Structure 1
Amino acid sequence: MTSAVKEIHMHFPTGGHSFLPADRIFGRAEKLLRNKPTIIEKDEYMDVYKELGQLYVLGQD
């Protein structure tokens, strides 16, 4: 059996040069999480992520 695919080109974004909405959210999350000295409970992460947008929890939503 032969494949019709001859080549695959992969493009990796260069750090600091991406302008996708998800990248902005991750940047904001990093900034908020950096201000917390220690996070012990997963609910602390959930609270930060809820500030950034709609949050769906696997197994609950």
Structure 2
Amino acid sequence: MLVVGSHSIPLWGKPAVEAIRKLGIIKGIGAIKFAPHTFGTRAEAAAILQLLQATNINKES
């Protein structure tokens, strides 16, 4: 689990964050930091969308 910053994730959101982390869709900042209240960049958003699409394609195959 992401350790630093995980206290900022609401309890209802922690299972979803952990699931997408395990899928490799989000990685956090560095090895263990998650910053849910920071702004993401366009590049980060594009990377997440690509990973989501790739994950969805793999499940349909």
Taking structure 1 as the reference length, the TM-score comes to: 0.31
The structure having more radius of gyration, on CA atoms, is 1
User: Taking structure 2 as the reference length, what is the TM-score of the superposition?
Assistant: 0.31
Q: Taking CA–CA contacts closer than 8 Å with sequence separation of 6 or more, which of the two structures ends up with the larger relative contact order? A: 2
